Amino acid sequence: MAVKKNTRKIEAGIETDFGDKMSYSSYLALDDLLSAQHPVSRPVHHDEMLFIIQHQTSELWLKLVLHEMRAVRKALMVDDLRTAMKGIARIKHIQRSLTEQWSVLATLTPSEYAQFRGDLGSASGFQSAQYRAVEFLLGNKNAGMLKVFSSDPAAHAVLEELLGQSSVYDEFIRLLDRRGFQVPTQLLNRDFSKAHVFNDELVQLYRVIYENPSEHWDLYEACEELVDLEDNFQLWRFRHMKTVLRTIGMKTGTGGSSGVDFLQRALALTFFPELYAVRTEIGAVTP
């Protein structure tokens, strides 16, 4: 019986000479990307590479989330709800990847992390400018966060700009107003540098949409997409908190926060409170 070779020939048309052509590596700047991991532990601890790549990967995904979220906000501003929802659909898939990768970091045991944690100094994920930018775009504004980036002019400028801009939720509410819904005036003409505050009138507006889905199908679907977005964000926060608890217990964070306690309190923050509150109203029996 003839023995089959476990190889395949390179097809004649496949490019092999990249002396003067763009290659996969040059297009993706892999020389820069793959040489951007610089462990600080001495001697270098094996597991620090995992720690660095985990966080660098998260930042790359956050960069894409911001890219898509800015486009979503822009689409909502011109009443292009379809494009906005397409963007949110993509963001939801990115969020899934961000959440699932916590399981990789969770393989870092407390004893392994303890061997290089002290070398991290005051560096902490709390200082992620892109994470704060995502929160600002979703409406969780906090001017006090800007001082964390006072030594990084570029990051500070981006966050300062986003702080004063309307959020994705603000623009969705404005779209509802242009659709003829009676949106409270204080929601349309507010200080965007402040976090959104719960409004019961908005709950009643959403109730109309939810109780009449066939009349407002695209808005009904958009409301659920926004809820998905927040659910995914909260799941990411939860997995973050549980991974930190698993790795360092109740220790203080490297950046000076209370660690797990700080992350637990973040779970109480919400972007679209009225979209959750309306669920209590649907089907409720009037006394």
Q: What is the pLDDT of residues 203-217, one digit of tens each?
A: 999 999 999 999 999
Closest CA to 169 of 44, 13, 274: 274
117 is in an annotated binding site: yes
- For residue 240, say whether it is annotated as part of any ligand binding site: yes
Confidence of residue 254 (pLDDT cuts 50, 70, 90): confident
Amino acid identity of residue 164, one-letter, is: G
pLDDT band for 285, please (50, 70, 90 cuts): low
8 Å CB contact between 168 and 69: yes
State how far the alpha carbon of 43 is from the alpha carbons of 33, 40, 78, 102, 116, in Å.
Answer: 23, 9, 55, 26, 9
The reply, when asked if residue 54 is annotated as ligand binding, is: yes
Is 271 labeled as ligand-binding? no
What average pLDDT does this structure show over 118-125?
92
Reply yes or no on whether the pLDDT at 1 is more than 70. no
Quote the DSSP letter at residue 147. G
165 marked ligand binding residue: no
Chain mean position to CA 26: 28
Residue 51 in marked binding region: yes
pTM for the complete prediction? 0.93
What pLDDT does residue 92 have? 98
pLDDT tens per residue across span 42-57: 999 999 999 999 999 9
Which has the closest alpha carbon to 173: 277, 267, 73, 53? 73
pLDDT tens string 61-116: 999 999 999 999 999 999 999 999 999 999 999 999 999 999 999 999 999 999 99
Q: How far apart are CA 53 and CA 43, in angstroms?
A: 18
Task: List % helix, strand, coil for the chain (3-state, nearest 5).
Answer: 65, 0, 35
**Is 113 labelled a binding residue?**
yes
pLDDT in tens, 148-191: 999 999 999 999 999 999 999 999 999 999 999 999 999 999 99
pLDDT of residue 7: 86
- Cβ distance 236 to 95 under 8 Å? yes
Token pair, residue 220, equals 């009904």
Query: 237: Cβ–Cβ under 8 A, 6 or more apart, which residues?
Result: 263, 266, 267
pLDDT for 286 beyond 70: no
